[in-house]
Structures are given as C-alpha cells and as structure tokens.
Structure 1
Amino acid sequence: MTKCLLIITGRYARPVTHSARRIGRSLALVLPVVLVLSGTLAVTAVPWANQGSGTQMLTASSKDVSARAKSRAPQDILRDRLLAELQEKDPGVALTSLQREMKYTPSLAKHCVAIARALGQAAVRQYGPTRAQSYARPVCDTAYASGVMYQS
C-alpha cells in the first residue's frame, strides 16, 4: 500500500503523488535563490549604478563607509543661525531673534548667555567696538555687552 496525501478542493478529493511533492520542494528551495540573484544583478547592472567604468560591480565594504554624521545640538544650530543673521542684517535683529527664541523655547535659556556673548564678539569683529556697543540690549543679563567688552 502506498502512502499518498489527499488534497480536497471543492467537492473532489485527489491524491498527491510523491513526484509532485518532490517537484514542489525543489521549487520551494530554488525559486527564492533565483529571485534574489536576479534582483541583485538587475540592481548592479542599471546604467546609473556606475556610469564611469561600464561593467564594474558595486560592492559595499566597511572600509568605505563614512563615519556617522554627528547631530548638532539645538543651541549650536541657533547660535549659527543668529550669527548668520548678524552678518546679513545687524546685531539688533539678531538680538531680537534671540529674545524671541528664548521666549518660545525655554529649554535653550541655559545657553542664552553663551549665545549672546558670541553675538557680541562677532559684532565687534564686523562693526568695531563702539558701533557694536550701540546695539546692546539687556538680553540674557547683558551677556551681549560683556561679549563686546571681552572682544575689544
């Protein structure tokens, strides 16, 4: 007596032979390998993969991976933005923006003195000590004025 599996489809039952099962297992093993290899070859063979050398294959290596870009702290981003604003406009506009930012983002208040001092030093470099001092405001406990005095 041979063993066979019955598959019930609709109303009829039909036996599955050993050879059909063997073909199904072979396809289950070979088909994913073929799909992965064909997909890999298709990606490396597209024209935009490597336009200069034609048939050269692209491979990834741990030596070629650049270091992960460090994320910048919010206070550094704010300081750089305000320094650019000082360069483009004037220190008064940058100080107003600093006051506004401290009002809307209180978590940056502990960095206000350092940022205002950096603005004062940059203002002296761009406008000179006398003109830079004329923009002084009582923002962040007069740290801008101390930055002007420190730089001059």
Structure 2
Amino acid sequence: MNISIGNDHAGTDYKNAIIKKLEAEGHTVTNHGTDNDDSVDYPDFGHPVANDVEEGKADFGIVICGSGNGINMTVNKHAGIRSALCWNTELAALARQHNDANVLALPARFIDQNLALECVDTFLNEKFEGGRHDRRVGKIPC
C-alpha cells in the first residue's frame, strides 16, 4: 500500500514511529512532514498529503498536528478527501467502516504514541461497509 504522511512540529516523533512501522510492514511511505520540532504551519504539510490521495499517488493519507484539528480541517478542504480525526481505535474503525475515510488525522498532544500506532493499524485494516453508508457518503460533496 502507498501511504502519504504529513505532520507539523508536534507530530514529528509520531510520524517517525509510524513510518518505521509501515515500512517494516512493506508499505511505501511518502513523507511530506517536517523532520524537527521547530514551529511550522500545518497546512504546508497537510496539502501535499491531500494532493497525493486526490491524485491517486497514495491509497491513504495520515496527518498529524498537536490537536489534530487544524491539519484535519486543511485536508478536508480538498475534493474527494474524507479525513477523520481519531483519538481511539473505535473511531478509526468507524471512520473506515461507515465514512470510507481516506485520511487519518491524529492529535499528537492528546494520545500517546502507542495508541496512535494502534489507530493507524485499525484505520488501514478496516474496510468500508457500503450499503446504507454508501448512500450517506455519496451525499458529501466533492
């Protein structure tokens, strides 16, 4: 699977752990995030992830900032992006099962790194259920 990932300064350590895990599992990861903790603007790192997913260069995106909100709002401005802010594995599962989310947003300052890795696993391994959810997702404008 091809995964695009982006982060601001709050998410650098999480991004590095996620990339290490995903690459060990055989995934290809495109890193659009900052690589240090110097203050940066999350939109600069979210837009390239959304572009990768929109253009089919990535199967899924993962975005990380302090609260998860700012970078989630950023990528959701792109047509065809359904990003879900998840702070536990149940939300990550439902984002895929019910909303066909294609980007996972993580709040680095509100969940620990192990939980973030679990959310990534859950998100990437769940499938969209379709059915009544397909009708609802179809009503989200692109």
Q: Same fold (TM over 0.5)?
A: no
Structure in which a larger fraction of residues adopt helix = 1
Larger relative CO (CA 8 A, sep 6+): 1 or 2?
A: 2
TM-score, length-normalised on structure 1? 0.29
Structure in which a larger fraction of residues adopt strand = 2
